[in-house]
Amino acid sequence: MADKVQVALAPGDGIGPEIMQACMAVFEAAGVNERIEFLEVEMGQRVFATGNTRGMSDEAIETIERCGLLYKGPMGTPIGGGGKSINVTLRKTFGAFANLRHFQSLPGVETVYSRAGVPVDFYVVRENIEDTYGGIEHRLTNDVIECKRLITAPGCDQVHRFAFKTAAALGLDHVHCGHKANIMKMTDGLFLQRFHKVAEDFPQIQISDVIIDALCMNLVLRPQEYQMVVLPNLQGDIVSDLAAGLVGGLGFAPSANIGDQISIFEAVHGTAPDIAGKGLANPTSLLLSGLMLLRHVGMHKTAAVIENALLATLEDGIHTADVAGGKREPAGTTAFANGIIERLGRSPRGFDAKPVPESDAISFTPPNRPSVNLLMQTFTQVVSHVVGCDLYIDTTLTPLELAEKLERICESTPFKLTMISNRGTQVWPSGSVYTEIVDYYRVRFELRDKHQIGQLGQGPTISLLSKVAEKFGITDFQPLKLFDGQPGYSLAQGQ
């Protein structure tokens, strides 16, 4: 037999250790440990408490990078102290760019939809690295704080390609793209554009796109109409929790974070410190995430056997206390795991069982550590030209007063003042006196002579920035560029 697949194991915080112990008991009984070696690593609250703001030890990082796989329980984010969410840090650090979550009705788990006889069975693929989850924030003025949203073409291509390949492997024939491109025309617009581009390589799969607010309504009204939805990071996070509510809660929502080299399988619910150590927690989400891990490495037979035993256990009315509709007294964490172990080899009677392949076939190879960071590029032959700049100014002047001063400043430059906006809405040269404003303006300067496009670089805009900075507090600077002749910047509302 080939060497065992090694998996880094992080039990987690709060209820994490007890639900992980339950999952490990099920895995051992099902023979998982004959093919997988779990290596426990140190991360979470105990590491944060030492002053380590990453929340994970150097040894943990080395083990994860060597294994290429991490199975983790829920972990808390420290309040204060500068430490960020370890869950987000892990995904971003190790390039786990696609979050895959499966939402399905489960036997014996009562929901509005199960009582109505409406089946729920769909996947959400969430981009995991970019968007507002970059956590790039600045206080710009007394009253204004900014969060920068980053969407990249390579990041979009990665998550869309993963979605289509996964849909094809699962036998799905329809993928939706959720977005807000009607408002965020450039960022979500790029996400939607790359969705359609990548879809060209998968002609057997039908595609649709849906605005995020309509998607949320539709998922509540008609969840059976969706097979897979792919979304940007923040929207995907919100929709994932909405979807969990359709099937009984986060306790039944498995999660896999997939990267080209390293993948993370985790429970996405909280640490539930109020019940930690009491043996009451539901291990279903973590167990289902573990089954995604098994399938990821090629152990499809073992995963199906365990999942059928889980379904049979739920069907028999054995539930933890958080589940409505149980036929008997709630089971504790250990008793629930034992119920699954007792049913290994069984399938649910009134619920579709998972097909069990004839054998497992390990197909996972640990990553080879790269020597440098991978630079990803999608557009490599684009011609860009500087045509102006947007300056962001901290001032309490009125729009008219600000415009008069700026027009005098730019008189001797190649640029003219063309627009002033406040909170995204144009307030000069046209606008309404009813538009309420704050102490933060965007002012736009563009070339006076369009014939100079392609003749000037960024230097003249920097000179203009210096002139304006002598009179005003500048909080940000953005050059305006044409990319292959198309504006790489948005209009203001009302412009």
10-residue averages of pLDDT along the chain (495 residues)? 85 96 98 97 91 90 97 82 76 94 92 92 97 92 96 97 97 97 97 98 98 97 97 97 94 94 93 93 96 97 98 93 72 96 95 93 93 94 96 98 98 97 97 96 97 93 97 97 96 91
Surface-to-core class of residue 407, CB atoms within 10 Å of its CB (0-12 exposed, 13-18 middle, 19+ buried): exposed
pLDDT computed for residue 87 by the predictor: 87
- Mapping DSSP to helix (H, G, I), strand (E, B) and coil, where does residue 190 land? helix
Q: Report the predicted TM-score, pTM, of the whole model to 2 decimal places.
A: 0.92
Separation CA 239–CA 462 (nearest Å): 42
pLDDT computed for residue 82 by the predictor: 54
| All residues at 6 or more sequence positions from 402 whose CB lies less than 8 Å from its CB, including other chains | 393, 395, 420, 428, 441, 443
Residues 360, 35 contacting (CB under 8 angstroms): yes
One-letter amino acid of 100: L
Separation CA 290–CA 71 (nearest Å): 7
| All residues at 6 or more sequence positions from 215 whose CB lies less than 8 Å from its CB, including other chains | 176, 178, 229, 239
For residue 112, give the nearest of 245, 251, 294 by alpha carbon: 245
pLDDT computed for residue 2 by the predictor: 52
Domains of the chain: 1-88+272-378 (3.40.718.10), 98-258 (3.40.718.10), 384-487 (3.30.70.1570)
Q: 134-138 — which CB contacts under 8 Å span 24+ positions? A: 135/84, 135/88, 138/475
> Cα–chain-centroid distance for residue 382?
29
pLDDT computed for residue 1 by the predictor: 42
Separation CA 380–CA 377 (nearest Å): 7
For residue 32, give the nearest of 265, 280, 271, 197 by alpha carbon: 265
Residue 429 preceded by cis peptide, ω within 30: yes
DSSP state of 450: G
Phi, psi of 29 (to 5 degrees): -65, -30
The bridge status of strand 174-179 relative to strand 206-211 is parallel
